[in-house]
Amino acid sequence: MAYSAPVRDQVFILGDVLNIDAHSNIQGFADASLETVEQVLDEAARFCEGVLAPLNTVGDKEGCHWAPDNTVTTPKGFKAAYAQMVETGWAALGADPAWGGQGLPRVVNLAVSEMLSGANMAFAMYPGLTHGAYAAIEAGGSPEQKALYLPKLATCQWGGTMNLTEPQCGTDLGLIRTKAVPAGDGTYKITGQKIWISAGEHDMAENIVHLVLARIEGAPAGVKGISLFIVPKFIPDADGNPGARNSLVCAGLEEKMGIHGNATCVMAYDEATGWLVGEENQGLKTMFVMMNEARLGVGLQGVAIAEAAYQAAVAFAKDRLQGRALTGATNPEGPADPIIVHPDVRRMLMDSKALLEGGRAFMLWTALQGDLQHGAPDEATRQKAADYMGLMTPVVKAYLTDKGFKVCSDAMQVHGGSGFTEHFPASQYLRDCRIALIYEGTNGVQALDLVGRKLAAKGGRGVMSFFADVDALVAELESDEAIKPFVEGLRTVKAKLQEATMWLMQNGMANPDNAGAASTDYLHLFGLTALAYMWAMMAKAAQAKVTAGDSDPFYATKLSTGLYFVARILPEADTHLAKLKTGAATLMALSADAF
């Protein structure tokens, strides 16, 4: 079963829903007409479907290999595909033209990123992490650092990594122990061990630029004493080419449930030479610029892998003959009907389709906020978009990966016994997808970030904007009989989210455990509301086409899928609201010993 990039759906969202042609006053959009974007997406699809997708199973089965000389070999075919990616410029789409990128809008870049991850998540993480390192240096680096590193990172000629985690320290970065000692020449000697470093070592790039969090000797304890360093594998020489080998090695690879094609490294730094990024003890600030973008990228992985899993499930459900439709045979000449006739198989496929299309719109809509935040000509738009980015990032990350995992699990279920075997792709998708709920901050950490930080930021300005935008859309569409269920669904779920928000404001202050206890259900209620908002916008766009007499069945299918979302997924809101309003009492009742 071949992966097919969801270009048609992306073009619908970019063109009919988000109307990117109307944003030509924003940086990067002038050169990104919908027509151009379609061509870019089509070409990207060819690369992803033709080059990356066929390597996905190879990557899973072969994995990465570490040798005692601390080298890491990637699976067969990865190196050539990487070289092709660098050469054709797919990795540089979103980077600044000043550094050799193509300066395409984030929203377009994210659509391409979805294809990369959908075709081969383990592979896509190499440019993904490199882009993270790029973003950190762009955000916090000196002009010299930018000039030296960004052109190489933009194209992925050099790889990049993010080194946060240590054995004793994951979410709680205040516990970092890696040391940085000033060498007297402006550089630092970095010593310590980092774990779970994705793409930490491999054979595909001529250099790897590690972004490392460490503590300068004498720095304050906790998160206030953490600085960010550039620690390249090969120290660039005067011409900016890879020079002397730095004293850092990959000491081993992690054995993992999935993403076997990506090298998850234990990195050992032994007085490695590093360069401070930004100011001393301000490392977390820069890292979080990057982390926020990375979190969107993880939400994207949830959708991307789930789309691939869903496609495999659809193909299987149309092909596999087993049993007869409850309402009479649909394939009377054959030995049995294809299992797609069975309502419970449909349920899983429709759940998936509705979540994926809604999730894709949500992810692209959020990416557009990133474009507006950085490139809108007026301050009010920039500010509102920045508020949205802050607010929606944890929702995109956690809701779309939780749902992505559900879709992958349902895709396996559609496969029946075949799904559990490694001859079909369902197992790999499920295994690969699972990490997305964990890394870049577990989904529980996202929920806490949402209720504990993002919701109240700037006096709750972000969530107020969201409620106002939803109300405005409801007011605009409520007289449209054709899409009434979408409007009613959105109005209803928004009221529940508002009720939950009020509950949080009243009870979270009194006892912060109430906020913590409510956080995941609140995030899911938020995700449902965001998807209902997307579905209302998509229904509006699709209905306009249908009304105008467009005969492309895509639009009628879109409306049907959305009606399913409203009828069969939105009811989850009630349960989340009821659960979160029970507060912390029953949840925190037991002492730790009682478990």
Per CB under 8 A, the segment of 26-34, 129-137, 298-306, 575-583 that binds its own copies is 575-583
Question: Is there binding between residue 30 and its own copies (CB under 8 A)?
Answer: no
Question: In the annotation, is 271 catalytic?
Answer: no
Per CB under 8 A, the segment of 39-47, 144-152, 322-330, 387-395 that binds its own copies is 322-330
Interface with its own copies in residues 234-273 (CB under 8 A) = 254-258
Alpha helices in 157-225 (DSSP H): none
Q: What does the block give as tokens for 226? A: 């953490």
In angstroms, what is the minimal distance from the CB of 263 to its own copies?
Answer: 14
Paired with 169 in beta bridges are 166
Q: Helix, strand, or coil here: 460?
A: helix
Per CB under 8 A, the segment of 39-47, 148-156, 172-180, 185-193 that binds its own copies is 172-180
Question: Is there binding between residue 152 and its own copies (CB under 8 A)?
Answer: no
Q: What does the block give as tokens for 433? A: 């997808």
Nearest to 141 by CA among 289, 291, 27, 296: 289
Which of the 8 DSSP states describes residue 277?
E
Q: Nearer to its own copies by C-beta: 75 or 375? A: 75
Q: Helix, strand, or coil here: 161?
A: strand
Instruction: Candidates 54, 243, 323, 460: give the one binding its own copies (CB under 8 A).
Output: 323
Paired with 276 in beta bridges are 229
Paired with 209 in beta bridges are 160, 232
Per CB under 8 A, the segment of 20-28, 90-98, 365-373, 410-418 that binds its own copies is 410-418
* 91 and 127 Cβ atoms separated by less than 8 Å: yes
Question: Is there binding between residue 421 and its own copies (CB under 8 A)?
Answer: yes
In angstroms, what is the minimal distance from the CB of 189 to its own copies?
Answer: 24
Q: Pick the catalytic residue from 114, 138, 293, 440.
A: 440
Q: Helix, strand, or coil here: 248?
A: strand
Q: Nearer to its own copies by C-beta: 62 or 471? A: 62
Per CB under 8 A, the segment of 96-104, 114-122, 370-378, 512-520 that binds its own copies is 512-520
* 422 and 428 Cβ atoms separated by less than 8 Å: yes
Instruction: Candidates 102, 120, 409, 501: give the one binding its own copies (CB under 8 A).
Output: 409
In angstroms, what is the minimal distance from the CB of 428 to its own copies?
Answer: 9
CA distance to 145, 241, 247, 524, per residue, from 235 (Å): 12, 8, 10, 46
* 201 and 264 Cβ atoms separated by less than 8 Å: no
* 281 and 225 Cβ atoms separated by less than 8 Å: yes
Question: Is there binding between residue 447 and its own copies (CB under 8 A)?
Answer: yes
Instruction: Kindly report the backbone phi and psi dihedral angles of residue 56, in degrees, each rounded to the nearest multiple of 5, phi listed first.
Output: -65, -45
CA distance to 84, 124, 136, per residue, from 131 (Å): 17, 11, 9
In angstroms, what is the minimal distance from the CB of 359 to its own copies?
Answer: 17
Calpha distance 243→403 (Å, rounded): 45
Site string for its own copies, 452-491 (x = CB under 8 A): ----------------------------------------
Question: Is there binding between residue 517 and its own copies (CB under 8 A)?
Answer: yes
In angstroms, what is the minimal distance from the CB of 66 to its own copies?
Answer: 15
Q: Nearer to its own copies by C-beta: 346 or 461? A: 346
Instruction: Kindly report the backbone phi and psi dihedral angles of residue 347, in degrees, each rounded to the nearest multiple of 5, phi listed first.
Output: -55, -45
Question: Is there binding between residue 520 and its own copies (CB under 8 A)?
Answer: yes
Interface with its own copies in residues 271-300 (CB under 8 A) = none
- Hey, which residues are catalytic here? 440
